[in-house]
């Protein structure tokens, strides 16, 4: 990245000159290249099973995030369960880390995760299971 790009990055993140220097000392060129590439990605988590969900999440509901992990709330259900969002955070982190490592995050054995509730049969309230993937961003 040229100095103009670094200055834009510094302004966007809100780094001081010293913080930018520290960041530049530890980041590798290939990692930075992947970081720029991830901005063109969308992460989608889709409900694949749901029963007894108090927030009424249903099979087919989809949650959209940009590649950086920002929830695109206008594209998501109006109600979002905090316990499901907690599980989503861990899954999104995993997808991002695989992408940064140069691996295809869609080509993993375990793509599913669930809310923290164990469901009524196990002494809980309900249960929601989601599947996550990363796709190229479309407008």
List, run by run, the mean pLDDT of 10-residue segments along the chain (139 residues): 84 92 82 81 97 94 96 93 92 94 92 91 92 90
pLDDT of residue 50: 96
Among the listed residues 71, 61, 117, the one whose alpha carbon sits nearest the alpha carbon of residue 92: 71
Domain ranges of the chain: 3-36, 41-136
pTM of the model as a whole: 0.85
pLDDT computed for residue 7 by the predictor: 87
pLDDT at 114: 94
Say what the pLDDT of residue 1 is.
74
pLDDT, residue 90, reads: 94
The pLDDT score that the predictor gives to residue 61 is 97
């Amino acid at each position: 990245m040229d100095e103009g790009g670094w200055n834009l990055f510094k302004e966007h993140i809100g780094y001081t000159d010293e913080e930018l220097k520290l960041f530049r000392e530890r980041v590798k060129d290939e990692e930075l290249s992947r970081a720029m590439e991830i901005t063109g990605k969308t992460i989608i988590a889709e409900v694949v099973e749901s029963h007894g969900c108090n927030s009424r999440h249903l099979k087919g509901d989809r949650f959209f995030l940009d590649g950086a992990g920002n929830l695109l709330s206008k594209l998501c259900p109006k109600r979002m369960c905090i316990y499901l969002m907690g599980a989503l955070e861990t899954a999104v982190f995993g997808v991002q880390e695989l992408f940064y490592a140069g691996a295809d995050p869609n080509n993993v054995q375990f793509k599913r995760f669930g809310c923290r509730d164990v469901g009524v049969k196990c002494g809980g309230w309900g249960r929601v299971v989601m599947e996550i993937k990363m796709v190229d961003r479309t407008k």
